Homo-oligomer: A and B are copies of this chain.
Amino acid sequence: MPNQPKYQRRKEDRPQEIADAAFKTFAEKGYAATRIDDVAKRAGVSKGLTYLYYKTKEDLFKAVVKNVVIRRVDSLIGNVESTELSSEEFLRGPLLEFMKKVPGSPIAIVIRLLISEGPRHPDLVNYYYENVVARGLEAIRQFVARGVERGEFRREALDHQPHLFLAPMMLSMIWRLVFADKPLDTDQLMESQVELLLAEMKA
């Protein structure tokens, strides 16, 4: 390696590359412990270039969170919203599938970041709430309502908060983030919960 060119210029999407590197670094170290220099190095660019695209570290953070949410949520939630399945089939199928994927997905990382940094970034929290949480909860609510309409579920099924479906997913997520090495069959956890709820709701 005699002398590599000092100035690189690539076609690829530099902002996205930087955001990707930033996401990984934030994921590993958290917001405060992440140094812009590390992000840049990871992205294979200079520190200065990072600042060309993201005015401040906070900007970068926000961009990264929104970026992940935007890119991932549709591929996770999207296909859940339009379906021809019966409500029961939906809950047992796509929803469960979705929930099983979340704890290992980048969304889990985002949640960790929101838990840590949320209080300092209320706009991010709102963004996340509206684009992920509210949509997810509403999707569940709709399917339960449809089940009731169709006579699949008892009227009382509507009383359950949709959060109850997601609780084991939440626990699984936190468990993996914190107790990665302690055993827990998280998939089993979520399956049990769905069965529990279906047994209760079914007509």
- A residues neighboring B (CB under 8 Å): 28, 30-33, 111-112, 114-120, 125, 129, 133, 160-161, 163-164, 166-168, 170-171, 174-175, 177-179, 182, 184-185, 188-189, 192-193, 196-197, 199-200
Q: How many monomers of this protein are in the complex?
A: 4
- With the chains together, A111 CA to B115 CA distance in Å? 10
For A185, list chain B residues within 8 Å (CB): 161
For A179, list chain B residues within 8 Å (CB): 125, 129, 133
Q: Which residue of B lies closest to A32 (CB)?
A: B32
Q: Beyond A129-B179, A129-B182, is A168–B174 a contact (Cβ under 8 Å)?
A: no
Q: Which of B28, B118, B177, B192 contacts A178 (CB 8 A)?
A: B118
Q: Which of B116, B119, B167 contacts A115 (CB 8 A)?
A: B116
For A182, list chain B residues within 8 Å (CB): 129, 133
Q: Which of B160, B166, B193 contacts A164 (CB 8 A)?
A: B193
- With the chains together, A133 CA to B178 CA distance in Å? 12
